[in-house]
Chain A
Amino acid sequence: MALINNKTKKALSGSGVLLLAGLASLPLAAQEGHQLLRNNCGVCHAESGSADNPVFSRISEQRKSPEGWLMTINRMVHLRDVEISADDKRNLVRYLADTQGLAPDEAAPFRYLLEQDTNLIETGVDAELVETCARCHSGARFALQRRTEQEWQYLVDFHMGQFPTTELHALSRDRAWYEIARNQTASTLALQYALDTPEWSQWQSEPKADVTGRWRVVGFVPGKGEFDAVMLAERADDGRYDLSITGRYADGSELSGDGKATLYTGYEWRASLTLDGVRMRQVMALDEQGLSGRMFLAAEREIGGSIQAIQDQGEAAVLALLPSFVRKGEHAEVEVIGHNLQADSLSLGAGVVIEQILSQGPDSIRVRVSATGDEGIYPVQLGDVAQSAGLAVYEQVARVDVLPQDAVARIGGGGMMAKVRTAYRVVGYSAGPDGIPGTEDDLRLGYMPASWQILPADEEAEHDQDHIYAGEIDANGIFTPGIDGPNPERRMSANNVGRLTVVATVTDGEEVVEGSGNLLVSVPDFVRRVLD
């Protein structure tokens, strides 16, 4: 591994002007990126290749997400004493994510990690890789990278050198971990997560969309509720976007803020905003439909909710209906959210009668509807054009799913470590044509209001009174864990940890439906990476 490169050092100090002249034919971004790599990384990472196609040892044979690149550079700063300015770091992450990023299809199965939506048990990673790799950190951390086999091997070597006790853990000490990881796992990884893929070649050749303009947005903020808004994106001098957003929550209270966004790799939207004084982040992916992803508190990434946006293209378009469901035979008020709307062209198909238009504007129409038809989804029509949003007409809420289904909260607040809370929501379903809840044909109705409760997960948890010590859940479904430190009241002065069942109760007319989720209240996570 030729990390030290005397040639580059000499070239940099000797003939900088000539070097720049040699690069003049390249597009500016590529030229700047190349220079950033030379200046900040070239001392250790040997440069080869040509001016149009420079190759830096260890850097050029990997592709990853913007966060993946950020983590690597952070690691260079911490472990290799690299000094890099905040501006150079930001520009380098952008350059690397643009030129050595992931195609949308490559990132799609693992977006939860990018969105910091980590309260789940991963299912998309091979058993072999779970045993060898995804047992200290997530599988998505490496599934969101593409490398040559040799680069996967070097990564194994790095782990072995940095964390030598890896070999002593269960699932290592019973076998030759290092040999297996280096010889077998690295080739599995190189097959599944190869550097060169048709997806990436295809994506690089595709034209990229422009995100400037007016966006119609719907989302959810825990504790505040659902909101709809208009977001304006303007191109700033530094290549980022200036954002401003105004809207309101479902309870009528207003929302406003501004911030900055960056579009990486032509589709990875990352924004930092201050919404009514609170710093928030948006992580979204851009596709033909628009933007979708998650928005969360910058200081507390577990507290967030889904967010979606469509761009104003001059035509009428619907983004969402609030609420998205009406019980069969009943009347309800529904708000249609979109762009360039006209009430006289709005319809909801034969089974949903629009009885009255309560208010109308280009961004929103409020109507009173009567659900006369049978159970099913009734897509919104604007003139002749069916929209992807629709209204669900249902007979009965048969099942409610508590989200997240599996979660971890962490004690804190007594010293340096903050509490890690969990934000819950409920999605309601009807039983669908087969009349049996929990089957494929269940009809998804949407998020529903619920009341919340915690119970001990089992007899042992009850015996240890986990439900008394581990924390509490509020009316908004936000669970706040207990304080950290030993608790002398508990057996052996145990921490306020516990295993709980989170129960949601949804009341729909006369009926009451319950759902539950598993919550582990645990000790702090003292190592918080950009990607778990």
Chain B
Amino acid sequence: MKHLKSMNKKAHLINQAINPEQVEEVVAMQTVVGCTATTDPGWELDPFGGLGSLCQPMESDLYGCADACWWPAQVPDTMSTYPDWGNGVAKADEDWRKLDGIFEDGE
């Protein structure tokens, strides 16, 4: 699978996996700082280092993923840390413009 090469140093290892279920037995995928290596499903990258197996567009099943705090460092986890995130944005695929980020006070 050619498209593995770009973002993923250990792609050759993952490349040896025959199907997605076997991927997790191989090795953690290393990605650019700030991205999650949790790729089942992934937020930035799928288990193959590509985009083909992501939930796309991301708005389509956003809460299904965020409610379960699947990527708590990228999408606010509404299970325990940010219960109110997404309030007033019932359908992310229609109201995505209102989704705001959590910005920590960096001063």
Contact = CB atoms under 8 A, between A and B. Distances in A.
Given A458-B6, A499-B3, A518-B6, A138 B33 contact: yes
A484 interface: yes
A417 interface: yes
B89 to A, nearest CB: 10
A530 B44 CA distance: 20
A65 to B, nearest CB: 13
Contacts of A137: 73
B104 A529 contact: yes
A458 B5 CA distance: 9
Contacts of B38: 135-136, 169-170
B64 interface: no
Contact of B72 (A112, A163, A406): A163
A90 B33 CA distance: 27
Nearest to A459: B2
Contacts of B15: none
Contacts of A90: 107
Interface in A179-230: none
Interface in B29-79: 30-40, 43-45, 47, 50-52, 54, 56-60, 68-77, 79
Contacts of A495: 56-59
B100 A416 contact: yes
Contacts of A400: none
Contacts of A459: 2-3
B30 A122 contact: yes
B104 A121 contact: no
A499 B76 CA distance: 25
B2 A458 contact: yes
B32 A416 contact: no
Contacts of B72: 136, 162-163, 527
Which one of A74, A119, A120, A136 has the greatest number of beta carbons of chain B within 10 Å? A136
Contacts of B59: 485-486, 495
A165 interface: yes
Contact of B105 (A74, A79, A163, A485): A74
A170 B21 CA distance: 9
Nearest to A500: B6
Given A121-B31, A522-B44, A532-B33, A484 B3 contact: no
Given A74-B104, A163-B72, A523 B43 contact: yes
Nearest to A122: B33
Contacts of A42: none
A66 B71 CA distance: 26
Contacts of A415: 96-99
A19 interface: no
Interface in A511-532: 518, 520, 522-530, 532
B24 interface: yes
Contact of A136 (B50, B73, B104): B73
A312 B37 CA distance: 46
Interface in A492-514: 492-495, 497-499, 501
Given A460-B3, A492-B57, A520-B45, A525 B28 contact: no
A171 interface: yes
B90 interface: no
A127 B30 CA distance: 10
Nearest to A517: B6
Given A163-B77, A174-B25, A520-B44, A130 B30 contact: yes
Contacts of A530: 104, 106
B13 to A, nearest CB: 11
A170 B39 contact: yes
B78 to A, nearest CB: 11
Contact of A162 (B40, B50, B56, B80): B80
A118 interface: yes
Contacts of B37: 130, 134-136
Contacts of A494: 51, 56-57
Nearest to A420: B34
A524 B101 contact: yes
Given A171-B24, A460-B52, A486-B93, 14 more contacts: A112-B33, A118-B33, A163-B80, A164-B69, A170-B38, A408-B44, A415-B96, A485-B96, A486-B96, A495-B56, A520-B44, A524-B99, A528-B103, A530-B104
Q: Nearest 5 pairs between A and B by C-beta?
A: A415-B97, A170-B24, A135-B37, A486-B57, A118-B33
9 contacts: A122-B30, A134-B28, A136-B36, A170-B23, A406-B32, A416-B98, A493-B57, A525-B101, A528-B104
Interface of B: 2-3, 5-7, 9, 23-25, 27-28, 30-40, 43-45, 47, 50-52, 54, 56-60, 68-77, 79-81, 85, 93, 96-107
